[in-house]
Amino acid sequence: MFAQALARTIQVNAGGPAIVDDANVITWREFGDRIARVAGGLRAIRANPGDRIALLAVNSPNHVIFMYAILWSGCAIVPLNTRLSAREMAHIIEKSGAKLLASDKANHEAAATLQTTFGNQLKSIKLDEEAVGDISLNSLLEANKLEAWQANFSDLSALYYTGGTTGSPKGVMISDGALTTQTQNLVADLKMTSEKVLLHAPPIFHLAGAGLAHACCFSGATQAFVPEIIPDQYIHEIAKVNATLVSLVPTMLTDMMELPGIEEAFRSVETIVYGSAPISETLLRKIIQRCPDAELTQIYGQTECAGPCLMLLPEWHVLAGPKSGKLNSAGRANMTTEVRIVDENDVEVERGMPGEIILRAPSVMLGYWQQPGLTETTLRNGWLHTGDVGIMDEDGFVQIVDRLKDMIVTGGENVFCGEVENIIAEHPEIKYCAVIGLPDEKWGERVHAVVGIAENSALDFKTLQDYCRQFIAGYKCPKSADFTQEPLPLSAVGKVRKDILRGKYKD
């Protein structure tokens, strides 16, 4: 279904711009030709429908071309977070059973390590000439065009790995139908048309970035890219490509709104999408003042539901009038999602009372890859249990108030405490540890470690950080730490009382 929608867009927008890359414009006809040929090349090297293909790349035209060639061929994407360590990437490749790895020059070092690790067991494709790989993207482009794969609703299209509280990442199985449904939702909610120009910011290896790329591919909108998000360079690029749509986390918006010339840079912007945290009234006032013509939309979602499930649409981003008072919420259910707030027995609570957010929708995952027990627990009684605590008001708006899962959201990235704790606990000088999230002005939350050490230990914060960086992504490493000989506060059943730790260290 997804490939057919993409084929339709290519057909009806053939001469229009699909991608703007510096001074070069790739039309939809050219975009479609490259996708179909790369897909044909994948089939020629025996990548068959259902096979998993790992993709390690920064945002770029070649990234999206290859991503859609995977879907066009009926294979499944296994996106790799570029910020992971090579060890973490190797674990994902092994668990997913990926038979191919495509990477770019920006990830040369990690791809070289992976090639050494897997040897002949993993074919490698280089997306540009300076990348690692036995097969080049250009050679795949010489293949005959492949017809778009006609998937069933339940066919696996993507396998997104997320962190786990036990330190083991979970492979979220996203179906073709889920991708198609969520893309249609985004097109409707963001009022996407072929006139829109998206300047990417969130990484495409996340659904936050990929979802917007998909919306462009259903609506015929244009995509533009920057290699990395540096605020002053990004706003320069907005003006350069006349972007009408941007997606930024509140921390990015905070930095950008302080830059000179922001009014002129954002003059073309019609829609600002944000997520990961509610927007503060102070920041909203600043955006309204400096970008008066831009509409704001907040998205709350999860990988397990293939992206958005709640949307706070532009008409609710107001400070006065009958639609004011909703800014502390993440919005209401999107067009195809049913949301409830329930107690520990899955009984719906009264409006205004806190409980776990659960949902059901055609966009909900198929389950966790090769983890039937965890799948059954998470999708019990036909509902996706998000692990987030929320409060729903009488109008159906949901405020996110806490997390049942032991997770930190730092700069838009999810960090699971158990994963970090497992790494820290391996250090020979550390007796015990607990990881918590503490409020942080820039990142929303920061990773804070409470580390138990021997009295004569010389372990310091820099040594701890350097140690962690060997095994996990930089954003997961502690940004602050407390070294102590005091025991951690425990509950009656021996669990660490992280609520007590948060209260102690947040001040």
For the segment 60-95, what is each residue's pLDDT rounded down to a tens digit? 999 999 999 999 999 999 999 998 999 999 999 999
Would you say residue 278 has pLDDT above 70? no
Q: What's the Cα-to-Cα distance from 334 to each of 205, 466, 475, rounded to whole Å?
A: 23, 43, 30
Q: Average pLDDT of 433-462?
A: 89
pLDDT confidence of residue 165: 38
Check pLDDT > 70 for residue 486.
Answer: yes
**Distance in angstroms (rounded) separating the CA atoms of residues 241 and 229:** 15
Q: Sign of the CA dihedral 214, 215, 221, 223? A: negative
Assigned CATH topology for domain 407-505: GMP Synthetase; Chain A, domain 3 (3.30.300)
Joined together, the tokens standing for residue 318 give 């107001």
Q: What is the model's pLDDT at position 493? A: 42
Summarised one tens digit per residue, pLDDT across range 185-226 is 999 999 999 999 999 998 999 999 999 999 999 999 999 999
Residue 51: which of 85, 93, 5, 90 has the closest Cα? 93
With CA atoms as reference, report the closest residue to 490 among 421, 434, 429, 428: 434
**pLDDT value, residue 162:** 86
Instruction: Please measure the distance between the N-terminal and C-terminal CA atoms of the chain and give it in whole angstroms.
Output: 52
Q: How far is CA 374 from CA 73, 170, 345, in A?
A: 30, 9, 18
Specify the CATH class of 2-15+25-175 in words: alpha beta
% of the chain surpassing 90 pLDDT? 72
- Secondary structure class of 299 (helix, strand, coil): strand
Q: What is the mean pLDDT of the chain?
A: 91
pLDDT (tens digit, 9 = 90+) per residue, 302-342? 999 999 999 999 999 988 999 999 988 999 999 999 999 99
**Residue 277 — very low, low, confident or very high, per pLDDT cuts 50/70/90?**
low
- CB atoms inside a 10 Å sphere around CB 161: 26
- How, if at all, do strands 100-103 and 444-453 pair? unpaired
- pLDDT of 164 strictly over 80: no
Mean pLDDT of 248-255: 82
Per-residue pLDDT of 390-434, as tens digits, reads 899 999 999 887 666 667 888 888 787 877 887 898 888 888 888
Q: Has residue 166 got a pLDDT over 60?
A: no
Whether pLDDT at 169 is above 70: yes
183 — phi, psi (to 5°)? -65, -40
Residue labelled with tokens 């972007």? 243
The mean per-residue pLDDT over the stretch 342-364 comes to 95
With a cut of 60, say whether residue 356 has pLDDT above it. yes
Of 26-40, 121-135, 477-491, where does mean pLDDT reach its minimum? 477-491
For 225-337, list the strands marked E by DSSP: 245-247, 271-275, 295-302, 307-312, 332-333
Residue 279: pLDDT over 60: yes
**Is residue 443 scored above 90 in pLDDT?**
no
What is the arithmetic mean of pLDDT over 254-266? 89
Considering the chain, tell me which residue range(s) the CATH 3.30.300.30 domain(s) occupy.
Answer: 407-505
Degrees, nearest 5: CA angle 359-360-364: 105
Quote the pLDDT of residue 425: 82
Is residue 448 within 8 A of residue 417, CB to CB? The reply is no
Q: Where in the chain are all domains bearing CATH 3.40.50.980? A: 2-15+25-175
Higher pLDDT, 47 or 23: 47
pLDDT band for position 20 (50/70/90)? very high
- The answer to whether 362 and 307 have CB atoms below 8 angstroms apart is no
Q: State the average pLDDT over residues 441-461.
A: 89
